[in-house]
């Protein structure tokens, strides 16, 4: 049987059919239009602004900050870290209210939570001195783990992860034991898009007496998460990727309620203190998840996030995941239809069970190719040494966009 090359027309027709059947298609119209943009494949790195974000920010400035002034803190903003955390938890994390806050950056929250978990473990059992992390985890996660280990005299145990896939249950089983304090892993690997088996890994770590800290930066808003059902101890993630909070929007952090009042994060600020306005001597942590807050909440940065999380809740994370897999499937099929002579390979998991919301393709000249694509309004992102990441945000990305963007990439290669 001869192989029939699928033409550009075929793929745009396939994409048009998929768009016509897509129940989430109307959501694409609910993002700010971007002039000159032909395909945006970076929703996993910086999500697009939801339409109405500018108006909501203006309304906030005029009607809340501008008129309520300092009274706004008592009337509402003081509670925004927990309230916004609950909104994120309900829409994206599978977590009951009262266990999530929005504050700080992901890096700072990773530090706070890793310290809280590690310190709690060492206090309970001084032999638990190991922090487990993987060699291809996102740089900030590795650096924070190195810093905490150095600061607390703990030992790092490295899992050698495959950059084209990710950390397996078997690899975790090999390293955890009676010396494990905390295991810090990414739910979706930032490079390959590998989706770790968070439930099985969490159970395994618990059987060894360890605690888990999941980094959800690349899964929150794209992959269903069940923090409560999986009995996760703690989790941290970005809100500016699939959660569309805007550049530098604050992180979220989850701490399971069974750990409240026991584990304590190290940055003892007045906003996480019981009765902060008593301005009293000595730090006493606030009750519940509020103790994860350290300083004044980044209120203005939560305004776009609150809008986008509402939209995610309306769409439903299950529907988002269904479309996410269909988008990466289409990208996969298109790349596979390219002639082998083009030398493009896919460095992501094929099976749905292990695939997150993005896939990575490789070719030695992709750094230069990416630069040219950006100039023509086709925006993937480049990850050294030779990867183009195709991050397909289900609410803002159409199937037609996938076909258009990949055709633009292919044309760069001939
Ligand atoms: C994007 C990302 C971060 C970013 O941390 P910041 O403090 O927001 O810069 C951290 N971890 C992972 C896995 C990421 O993908």
pLDDT tens for residues 163-187? 899 999 999 999 999 999 999 999 9
User: CA geometry: angle at 134 spanning 132 and 137, to 5°?
Assistant: 125
- Taking alpha carbons only, the member of 381, 393, 322 closest to residue 357 is 393
pLDDT digits (tens, 9 = 90+) for 239-288: 999 999 999 999 999 999 999 999 999 999 999 999 998 889 999 999 99
pLDDT of residue 5: 60
Question: What DSSP designation does 383 have?
Answer: E
pLDDT at 145 over 50: yes
- What's the rounded mean pLDDT across residues 150-158? 98
pLDDT digits (tens, 9 = 90+) for 380-391: 999 999 999 999
Share of the chain above pLDDT 70, in %: 98
**309 φ, ψ to 5°?**
-70, -35
Residue that wins the pLDDT comparison between 336 and 4: 336
Q: Ligand 1 atom closest to Cα of 45?
A: 1
Q: In the structure, what pLDDT confidence band is assigned to residue 122 with cuts at 50, 70 and 90?
A: very high
pLDDT digits (tens, 9 = 90+) for 80-107: 999 999 999 999 999 999 999 999 999 9
Cα 237 from chain centre: 5
- Taking alpha carbons only, the member of 247, 236, 402 closest to residue 333 is 402
Going from N- to C-terminal start, the domains of the chain cover 3-50+316-412, 76-313
Is the model's pTM score more than 0.85? Answer: yes
Mutate to test the pocket of ligand 1, among 137, 190, 298 (most ligand atoms within 8 A of CB): 190
Catalytic residues: 138, 215, 240-241, 389
Q: Quick check: helix, strand or coil at residue 180?
A: strand
pLDDT of residue 2: 42
**Which tokens belong to 277?**
């306005």
Alpha-carbon span 197 to 169, nearest angstrom? 7
Cβ of residue 107 lying under 6 Å from some atom of ligand 1:
yes
pLDDT of residue 4: 56
How many other C-beta atoms are found inside a 10 Å radius of the C-beta of residue 47?
30
Q: Are 141 and 156 in contact (CB under 8 A)?
A: no
Alpha-carbon span 188 to 354, nearest angstrom? 9
Cβ of residue 238 lying under 6 Å from some atom of ligand 1:
yes
Cα 252 from chain centre: 10
Q: Give the position of tokens 């239009």.
A: 33
- What's the rounded mean pLDDT across residues 120-132? 98
Q: In the structure, what pLDDT confidence band is assigned to residue 414 with cuts at 50, 70 and 90?
A: confident
- What's the rounded mean pLDDT across residues 302-321? 98
Q: Are 287 and 196 in contact (CB under 8 A)?
A: no
pLDDT of residue 8: 67
pLDDT of residue 14: 97
Domain 76-313 is found in CATH 3.40.50.300: no
Alpha-carbon span 148 to 158, nearest angstrom? 14
Alpha-carbon span 84 to 396, nearest angstrom? 22
Task: Give the chain's mean pLDDT.
Answer: 96
Spell out the CATH class of 3-50+316-412. Answer: alpha beta
């Amino acid at each position: 049987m001869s192989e029939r090359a699928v033409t550009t027309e075929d793929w745009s027709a396939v994409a048009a059919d998929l768009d016509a059947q897509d129940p989430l298609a109307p959501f694409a119209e609910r993002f700010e239009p971007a002039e000159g943009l032909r395909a945006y494949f970076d929703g996993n790195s910086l999500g697009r602004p939801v339409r109405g974000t500018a108006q909501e920010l203006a309304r906030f400035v005029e009607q809340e900050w501008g008129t309520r002034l300092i009274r706004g803190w008592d009337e509402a903003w003081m509670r925004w870290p927990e309230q916004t955390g609950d909104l994120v938890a309900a829409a994206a994390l599978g977590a009951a209210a009262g266990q999530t806050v929005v504050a700080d950056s992901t890096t700072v929250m990773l530090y706070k939570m890793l310290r809280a978990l590690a310190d709690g473990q060492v206090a309970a059992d001084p032999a638990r001195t190991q922090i487990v992390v993987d060699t291809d985890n996102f740089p900030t996660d590795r650096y924070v783990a190195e810093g905490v280990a150095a600061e607390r005299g703990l030992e790092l145990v490295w899992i050698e992860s495959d950059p084209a896939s990710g950390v397996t249950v078997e690899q975790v089983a090999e390293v955890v034991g009676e010396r494990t304090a905390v295991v810090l892993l990414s739910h979706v690997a930032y490079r390959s898009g590998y989706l770790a088996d968070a439930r099985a890994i969490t159970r395994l770590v618990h059987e060894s007496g360890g605690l888990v800290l999941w980094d959800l930066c690349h899964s929150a808003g794209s992959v269903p998460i069940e923090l409560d059902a999986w009995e996760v101890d703690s989790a941290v993630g970005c809100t500016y990727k699939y959660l569309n909070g805007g550049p530098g929007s604050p992180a979220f952090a989850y701490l399971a309620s069974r750990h409240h009042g026991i584990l304590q994060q190290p940055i003892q600020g007045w906003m996480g203190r019981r009765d902060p306005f008593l301005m009293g001597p000595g730090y006493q942590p606030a009750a519940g998840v509020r103790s994860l807050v350290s300083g004044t909440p980044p209120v203005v940065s939560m305004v776009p996030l609150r809008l986008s999380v509402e939209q995610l809740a309306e769409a439903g994370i299950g529907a988002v995941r269904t479309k996410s897999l269909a988008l990466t499937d289409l990208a996969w099929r298109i790349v596979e239809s390219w002639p082998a002579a083009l030398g493009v390979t896919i460095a992501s998991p094929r099976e749905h069970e292990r695939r997150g919301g993005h896939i990575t393709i490789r070719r030695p000249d992709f750094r230069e190719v990416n630069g040219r694509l950006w100039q023509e309004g086709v925006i993937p992102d480049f990850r050294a040494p030779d990867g183009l990441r195709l991050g397909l945000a289900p609410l803002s990305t159409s199937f037609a966009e996938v076909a258009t963007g990949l055709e633009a990439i292919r044309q760069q290669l001939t």
